[in-house]
A and B are shown apart, each in its own frame.
Chain A
């Protein structure tokens, strides 16, 4: 049986190494690239090369940057005494989109996952301890609301509390636009526990 061509087969094989891309999707993408303008395809290849060469992790917080320090850590207006701890750089983007957080971040590069053999030593925790010891007033733990996130939050709280800062965890509850009757009891219980007082009309 013949494949497409050696080069096409190689491209398809490389594309199928990407997350969520199976054999058929790999073929579809390869044919799309084959038919696309030269300018687009070469621009894409160049963008991928430049990302690999130019993007690194912030020496302060672990977020993505093209210099030594990320834009958030370099921002004089951010409150350096409040550190929000997240699992991945994507989480920084999600929190930044809220426009409600003015502190800085620390990216752990994962979460403690005992069942996968990922322990505290596999995460960027020692730098976090240094940053907190330098005088942080509050650490907000924004790990995922799952068993790995819980384990990580427990571990960090135990480690960081003796250093003095207030250690908090982001609230959990119902998603906006969700339907209360379909929520499971754990989510609903957390939503009740984390309820907030309604503001008066003059406060709106």
Chain B
């Protein structure tokens, strides 16, 4: 029997299919990441409209047919279009970096409603006055945790000191921090100044909605984002093309 699924989700990416159709990758609450065939989506009068654009939170109705590799999309409605994110270059870049990271770090048909909620929270935060770089840092931290690469931020890997004072070094190979005293025994790592370290601890404990209240020291958000990208690169080999190809637009963020 044909299963009809109705669920909300965030559009991660899409590609053209045939002359007039598209395949859309949506991170949904009920099914996890799915590929949906949207027939006729490229026609000007398509019923799907802007609901298939990346960075859109929408409600999607789709079904699966035997002998087809893809789900077929039958309805799509926009829940949030995140226009403010689209209309501001740095926010667009960081928003695309968020959906790209979600796409690269999640598996198809592996439902994880919390991760979808975290992504939606990041896009919500990008639409406010919050530093977009801080939002990306927060999102990468929670995404890494959700997919099994949570960095150990509380306890020093070398001596077990909890929340060590001063600068800490993060060892990507160990996935954990080491305190200043133990750092020499752990090879190369990313040094986090006290401000960045404390911010990281804070980010690990709060939802994205609270980021607008955060006052950050210059460079701390950049340091955190670099650290998290290095951590993810070490463990998963991912590179975020969005940041690379549109770096010129981002500025100091």
Q: Does A112 contact B (CB under 8 A)?
A: yes
Indicate whether B226 reaches chain A with its CB closer than 8 angstroms.
no
**How distant is B118 from chain A, measured CB to nearest CB, in Å?**
19
A147 to B83, CA, bound (A): 11
**Which of B47, B49, B51, B87 has the most C-beta atoms of chain A within 10 angstroms of its own C-beta?**
B49
Known interface pairs A186-B50, A189-B83. Does A114 touch B246 (Cβ–Cβ under 8 Å)?
yes
Task: Give every chain B residue within 8 A of A147 (Cβ-Cβ).
Answer: 53-55, 86, 92, 96
Shortest beta-carbon distance from B192 to chain A in Å: 27
The chain A residue with its CB closest to the CB of B79 is A185
**Which residue of A is nearest B96, CB measured?**
A114
A70 contacts B by Cβ under 8 Å: no
Q: Which of A183-204 contact B (CB under 8 A)?
A: 183-187, 189
Tell whether, in the assembled complex, residue A154 and residue B50 are in contact, meaning their CB atoms are under 8 Å apart. Answer: no
- A20's contact among B19, B45, B81, B92, by CB below 8 Å, is which? B19
Interface stretch, picked from B182-190, B212-220, B237-245, is B237-245
Chain B residues closer than 8 Å to A186, beta-carbon distance: 49-50, 53, 78, 81, 83
CA of A120 to CA of B89 in the docked complex: distance in angstroms?
A: 14
Chain B residues closer than 8 Å to A162, beta-carbon distance: none
Q: How far is the CB of A133 from chain B (nearest CB, A)?
A: 18
Q: Using CB atoms, name the residue of chain B closest to A119.
A: B245
- Does A76 sit within 8 A of B, measured CB to CB? no
Report B209-253 residues with CB < 8 Å from chain A CB: 241-242, 244-246, 248-249
What is the bound-complex CA distance between A177 and B92, given in angstroms?
Answer: 32
Contact of B45 with A155 in the complex, beta carbons under 8 Å: no
Q: Contacts A185-B81, A186-B83 known; A114 to B241 CB distance under 8 Å?
A: yes
Q: How large is the interface on B (under 10, 10 to 19, 20 to 34, 35 or more residues)?
A: 20 to 34
Candidate in A112, A115, A117, A154 with the most chain B CB atoms within 10 angstroms: A115
Range for the number of chain A residues in contact with chain B: 20 to 34
In the bound assembly, the distance between CA atoms of A147 and B86 in angstroms comes to 7
- Known contacts A20-B19, A186-B83, A175 near B50 by CB under 8 Å: no
Closest to B241 in A: A117
Q: Is B44 an interface residue (CB 8 A)?
A: yes
User: Measured between alpha carbons, how far is A184 from B50 in the docked complex, in Å?
Assistant: 7
Complex: A186 Cα to B87 Cα, angstroms: 12
A-B contact count (CB 8 A): 82
Nearest residue (CB) in B for A189 is B83
> Residues of B contacting A158 with CB < 8 Å?
89, 248-249
**Whole-angstrom CA separation of A187 from B47 in the bound complex:** 12
Q: Which residue of A lies closest to B12 (CB)?
A: A115
Chain B, range 32-61, C-beta contacts under 8 Å to A: 44-45, 47, 49-51, 53-55
Does B126 reach chain A (CB closer than 8 Å)? Answer: no
> Across the two chains, which residue of chain A brings its CB closest to B104?
A115
Beyond A20-B19, A184-B50, A186-B83, is A175–B45 a contact (Cβ under 8 Å)? yes
Whether the Cβ atoms of A119 and B81 lie closer than 8 Å is no
A116 → B minimal CB distance (Å)? 8
Question: What is the CA–CA distance of A99 and B51 in the complex, to the nearest angstrom?
Answer: 31
B93 touches A114 (CB 8 A): yes
Look across to chain B and name the residue whose beta carbon is closest to the beta carbon of A178: B45
Enumerate chain A interface residues (CB-CB to B < 8 A).
Answer: 19-20, 112-120, 146-147, 150-151, 154-155, 158, 175, 177-178, 182-187, 189
26 residue pairs A–B, Cβ–Cβ below 8 Å: A112-B245, A112-B246, A113-B245, A114-B93, A114-B96, A114-B245, A115-B54, A115-B103, A115-B241, A116-B241, A117-B244, A119-B244, A120-B248, A147-B53, A150-B92, A151-B96, A151-B249, A154-B249, A155-B89, A158-B248, A177-B45, A182-B47, A185-B81, A186-B49, A186-B81, A187-B49
- Shortest Cβ-Cβ A-B pairs, 8 listed: A119-B245, A184-B49, A114-B242, A186-B50, A154-B89, A117-B241, A175-B44, A186-B81
